[in-house]
């Protein structure tokens, strides 16, 4: 298995302005004349009836202009899948943080004072605050979903070994650096231009129009960049854009809505918590015979994207492993907490956590190395390469990835070293785990798998590209610029990807599901290829002229008669490279790209085009749970070695080795950066990011001081990342594979390594609780429980 050699890649297009503090985010936009500050008044109760709202005291404050409530909203219900959530609560509040009123003020100080002065009286109602409570009350969102293969009951009954258990998975806050923010500007004729920190400009456009009673043509959403998103700005950003837009529309003044980190964390949804009940049958080698799993997620008070998240969790319940017989059933619980939403990996991490925990437990019960159990179950050709939902696996590299990383990281010797260390009974325990990921790339909702792009080539040979992709730090703009530049044979610095705007790119899909480059670069490729083909005919006409009539290599002179360029034709012998176009058969005949563009303009040849792309060949029947929902799979493996202190529970990640298949990366440097960031974020979810709520549904860990994301001290002491060469992923743009989400799931290797370390103390018949995250406190409590029960060996 050949490794891609590291090489210098073009840097992120905004890296230089980021490090200088010059990049513009929403709240960096200068205030304009008449601009108002918008604040939100939200519920302190998880479930209550609104008895009354009295804005009198707030309106008496100097510089307070107005207070708005649900009666000021034209259409109040919204939702990305089901329209079940009020934009502003009208009669009942359903979670702590639900907005009941908006205040508009001349200054931020007056706005904050007014928020506290609005008097809202409530009649508190009973609340459901957990998955078990929701199950007991039969409180659910949407319908029960299932994926089934074979007779799972018979398979488990016939299996030599059986076990059952529960996997408890908590949520995770997105903790983007830029909290939700939006500025709305009223324009002529009742139009609204809203600048939002959003992954989904089209949804913002539609929600603003819907809530204000406007048409789509009256609203433009602009997204220059976000200070992080991670899924948290896919749907819920539309709310804050609407709040700014409502004030701007009602008062005909610009309005800015920027919330604090504390309010953001209290109000907005997280990664869905899950509770998974399973039964599994397996043989003496650890091979799975049948898996029966019931997945329950906490959707929160409203549906948001939770039903689709559940669907992806079910689709990824196999991860890298063949399930001969399976029944995977999913239900989304309706509770009185903030509506949970998209998060990097969507539902995939929960399904993967379940199967990895099961395999770890099976290995312990059989006294086998967990890696051997994983390799025994891994997908392989030819008769074990179809998923439980019926999709054949093409370009399957999982067995080789396991074998290659096992060798590269010296797994067997390190396993022996870990055993030896733990046998000494020192103050620390070590754990080692090698896990995999097989992440499906595509939206599981088919109509979202489309993108469009506008490419404009100017007379000086520079290019502007507009797509529906939104930049949140991941480098999608840089990758799109590279794809366009390569087709035209020019430097990537001669291509600029413009600010995303719904007036240039219509009906766009969110930048999510790791598909931003796949959809939008492919659409840009479609457009720029047609432009290049027309330019090739212009080049042929110019290069055919006598030398004395040929335009200079630096400026078009328009000396030749107007060229005829038939649509759809191309001169295959014209090569675009190094900023020039030349004849493949006679390389002395060449013209500078800028001069060629000038000649094309003078000959009235179209230098702009609109491209479109839709992912082909995907289908999934949500009612039967069968189909091929994914375009391809990104695959990878990771080996993590950890050390925990027996007496404090302190966790250190000693070494991590990652081996990823990303096809042929467009930008090696950006891809490696995404692998690092995703893995560390996944590691944080598994180990330290603990969401703590009080008994009234209020998030207590709502600040950097109480919610612990990984710091530089938590990252692996020894971190090794390699990308393999894979030239067989032919269907995707440039042969690349998506990287945004898949490596996050490899962060689970740290979690399973912690469980591996703890299993070193437990007898064969004992099963450790499968709870995520394994924080310092949970590790210590597990160690204490083993000691108190006299189980520690």
The three-state (H, E, C) secondary structure of 510-525, written as one string: CCCCCCHHHHHHHHHH
DSSP, collapsed to helix, strand or coil, labels residue 725 as: coil
Element holding 359 (H helix, E strand): helix 348-366
φ/ψ (deg, to 5) at 686: -80, -20
| Pairing, β 619-621 against β 626-628 | antiparallel
Residues assigned a catalytic role: 741
- Location of structure tokens 């957990």: 130
φ/ψ (deg, to 5) at 155: -65, -40
Q: Rounded distance, CA 611 to CA 624, Å? A: 34
385-415 in b/e burial notation, b at 16+ Cβ within 10 A?
Answer: eebbbbbebeebbbbebbebbbebbebeebb
Q: Rounded distance, CA 732 to CA 437, Å? A: 19
Q: Rounded distance, CA 495 to CA 477, Å? A: 10
Instruction: Provide, for the chain, the percentages of residues in helix, strand and coil under a 3-state DSSP scheme, each rounded to the nearest 5.
Output: 30, 25, 40
Q: Which residues contact 559 (CB under 8 A, 6 or more apart)?
A: 545, 549, 550, 551
Tokens of 449: 């798998």
Number of Cβ within a 10 Å radius of residue 159: 19
766-784 in b/e burial notation, b at 16+ Cβ within 10 A?
Answer: ebbbbbbbbbbebbbebbe
| Cβ atoms of residues 192 and 184 within 8 Å | yes
Element holding 618 (H helix, E strand): none
Q: Rounded distance, CA 596 to CA 488, Å? A: 11
| Cβ atoms of residues 200 and 342 within 8 Å | no
| Cβ atoms of residues 576 and 485 within 8 Å | no
| Cβ atoms of residues 379 and 615 within 8 Å | no
| Pairing, β 255-258 against β 36-42 | parallel
Torsion sign across C-alpha atoms 191, 193, 198, 202: positive
- Location of structure tokens 């599994």: 280
| Cβ atoms of residues 671 and 739 within 8 Å | yes
Cα-atom radius of gyration of the chain, to the nearest Å?
28
DSSP for 9-45, please give it.
Answer: -PPPTTHHHHHTT----GGGSPP-TT-EEEEEEE-SS
């Amino acid at each position: 298995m050949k490794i891609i050699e590291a090489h210098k890649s073009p840097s992120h297009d905004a890296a230089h302005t980021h490090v200088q503090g010059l990049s513009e985010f929403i709240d960096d936009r200068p205030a304009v004349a008449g601009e108002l500050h918008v604040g939100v008044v939200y519920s302190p109760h998880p479930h209550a009836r609104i008895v009354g709202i009295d804005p009198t005291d707030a309106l008496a404050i100097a510089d307070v202009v107005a207070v708005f409530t649900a009666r000021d909203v034209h259409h109040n219900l919204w939702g990305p899948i089901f329209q079940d959530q009020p934009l502003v609560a009208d009669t009942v509040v359903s979670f702590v943080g639900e907005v009941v009123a908006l205040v508009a003020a001349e200054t931020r100080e007056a706005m904050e004072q007014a928020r506290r002065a609005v008097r809202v009286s409530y009649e508190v109602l009973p609340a459901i605050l957990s998955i078990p409570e929701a199950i007991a009350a039969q409180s659910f969102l949407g319908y029960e979903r299932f994926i089934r293969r074979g007779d799972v009951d018979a398979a488990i009954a016939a299996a030599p070994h059986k076990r059952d258990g529960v996997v408890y998975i908590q949520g995770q806050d997105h903790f983007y650096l830029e909290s939700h923010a939006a500025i709305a500007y009223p324009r002529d004729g009742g139009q609204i231009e809203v600048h939002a920190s959003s992954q989904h400009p089209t949804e913002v456009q539609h929600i603003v129009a819907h809530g204000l009673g406007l048409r789509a043509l009256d609203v433009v959403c602009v997204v220059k960049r976000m200070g992080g998103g991670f899924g948290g700005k896919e749907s819920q950003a539309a709310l804050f854009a609407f709040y700014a837009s409502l004030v701007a529309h009602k008062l005909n003044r610009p309005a800015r809505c920027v919330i604090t980190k504390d309010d953001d964390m209290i109000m907005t949804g997280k990664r869905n918590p899950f509770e998974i009940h399973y039964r599994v049958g397996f043989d003496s080698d650890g091979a799975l015979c049948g898996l029966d799993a019931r997945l329950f997620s906490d959707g929160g008070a409203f549906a948001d994207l939770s039903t689709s998240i559940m669907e992806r969790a079910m689709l990824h319940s196999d991860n890298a492993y063949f399930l001969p017989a399976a029944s995977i059933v999913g239900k989304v619980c309706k509770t009185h907490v903030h509506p949970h939403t998209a998060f990097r990996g969507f539902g995939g991490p929960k399904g993967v956590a379940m199967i990895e925990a099961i395999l770890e437990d099976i290995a312990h019960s059989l006294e086998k190395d967990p890696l051997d159990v994983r390799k025994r179950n891994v997908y392989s050709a030819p008769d074990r390469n179809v998923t439980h939902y019926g999709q054949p696996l093409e370009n399957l590299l999982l067995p080789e990835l396991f074998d290659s990383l096992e060798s590269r990281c010296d797994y067997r010797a390190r396993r022996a070293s870990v055993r030896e260390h733990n046998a000494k009974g020192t103050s620390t325990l070590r754990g080692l785990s090698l896990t995999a990921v097989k992440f499906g790339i595509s939206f599981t909702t088919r109509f979202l798998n489309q993108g469009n792009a506008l490419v404009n080539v100017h007379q000086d040979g520079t290019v502007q590209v507009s797509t529906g992709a939104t930049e949140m730090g991941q480098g999608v703009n840089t990758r799109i610029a590279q794809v366009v530049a390569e087709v035209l044979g020019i430097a990537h610095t001669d291509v600029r990807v413009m600010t995303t705007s719904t007036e240039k790119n219509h009906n766009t899909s969110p930048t999510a599901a790791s598909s931003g480059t796949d959809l939008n670069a492919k659409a840009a490729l479609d457009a720029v290829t047609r432009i290049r083909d027309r330019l090739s005919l212009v080049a042929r006409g110019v290069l055919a002229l006598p030398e004395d009539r040929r335009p200079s290599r630096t400026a078009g002179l328009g000396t030749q008669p107007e060229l005829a360029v038939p649509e759809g034709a191309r001169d295959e012998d014209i090569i675009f490279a190094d900023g020039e176009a030349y004849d493949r058969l006679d390389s002395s005949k060449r013209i500078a790209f800028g001069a060629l563009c000038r000649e094309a303009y003078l000959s009235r040849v179209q230098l702009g085009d609109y491209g479109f792309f839709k992912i082909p060949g995907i289908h999934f029947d949500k009612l039967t749970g069968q189909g091929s929902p994914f375009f391809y799979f990104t695959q990878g493996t990771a080996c993590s070695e950890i050390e925990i202190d027996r007496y404090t529970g302190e966790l250190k990640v000693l070494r991590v080795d990652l081996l990823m298949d990303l096809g042929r990366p467009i930008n090696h440097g950006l891809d490696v950066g995404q692998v690092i960031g995703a893995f560390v974020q996944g590691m944080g979810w598994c180990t330290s990011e603990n969401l703590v709520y009080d008994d009234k549904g209020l998030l207590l860990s709502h600040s950097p001081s109480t919610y612990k994301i990984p710091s530089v001290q938590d990252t692996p002491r020894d971190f090794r990342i390699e990308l393999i060469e894979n030239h067989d992923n032919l269907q995707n743009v440039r042969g690349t594979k998506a990287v945004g989400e898949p490596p996050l799931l490899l962060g689970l290797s740290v979690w399973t390594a912690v469980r591996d370390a703890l299993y070193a103390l437990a007898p064969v018949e004992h099963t450790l609780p499968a709870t995520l995250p394994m924080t310092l406190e949970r590790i210590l409590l597990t160690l204490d429980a083993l000691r108190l029960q006299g189980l520690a060996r």
